[in-house]
Structure formats: structure tokens, C-alpha cells
Amino acid sequence: VFQSHEEDDRKVRRREKNRVAAQRSRKKQTQKADKLHEEYESLEQENTSLKREIGKLTDEMKHLSEVLKDHEKICPLLHCTMNFMTIPRPDALASCLPR
């Protein structure tokens, strides 16, 4: 009778120990999941911010490309590029600039 009571005690202690260990494990897993979720949210915000920035930069690049294209149509230096090849003088640039 004494031995079975001792065995019952051991079983109860073991079950309690296992219950506490399982609870600790679940808590650890929950904390890990929460941390991953926070990291995910942070990365999503950063991604959204970067996409916005890319959009702005793309718009700026389009605008600057248009400005450059318009400028190339009227730039006297572009019309003188052949002169740079044939006249190796420092004043070649000056001869292309409007006076």
C-alpha cells in the first residue's frame, strides 16, 4: 500500500512537472511567434515606405528625362560635338557657347 501511494505521488509530481514544462514551451513558442509577427509588420512598413520612395524617384527620373530631352533639342553644345572631334583646341568649347 505504501509503495503504490509513493508511485502515485511520483506520477502526480511527474505530471505536474510535464504540465509546467509544456506550459513553458507554449509560452516560449508564443513569444517567438509574436516576435516574428512584429518583425514581419516592421518589414511590411519598410517595404511600403521603399515602394513609395521608388515611385517618387521614378516620377522624378521621368521628369528629368523629359527636361533633358527638351534641353537636348536646343543645346548648342550638342550641335558642336563633331567640332570637338576635329578641333583639339581648348577654345573649341568656347566657340560653341552662345555669345
**Residue 48 domain-assigned?**
yes
**Residue 39 domain-assigned?**
yes
Average pLDDT value for residue range 30-45: 98
Average pLDDT value for residue range 21-25: 98
Average pLDDT value for residue range 82-91: 51
Query: Do 74 and 98 form a contact (C-beta atoms < 8 A)?
Result: no
**Residue 7 domain-assigned?**
yes
pLDDT tier at 81, thresholds 50, 70, 90: low
Q: What percent of the chain has pLDDT over 70?
A: 76
Residues whose CB is less than 8 angstroms from the CB of residue 51 and which lie 6 or more positions away in sequence, other chains included: none
93 pLDDT above the threshold of 70 = no
Angle CA(57)–CA(45)–CA(39) in degrees, nearest 5?
135
**Residue 17 domain-assigned?**
yes
Higher pLDDT, 75 or 42: 42
**Residue 59 domain-assigned?**
yes
Domain encompassing residue 24? 1-78
**Residue 47 domain-assigned?**
yes
Phi and psi at 91, nearest 5°, equal -85, 5
Query: Do 67 and 59 form a contact (C-beta atoms < 8 A)?
Result: no
**Residue 29 domain-assigned?**
yes
Q: How many domains, in total, are found in the chain?
A: 1
41 pLDDT above the threshold of 60 = yes
Average pLDDT value for residue range 1-15: 88
**Residue 53 domain-assigned?**
yes
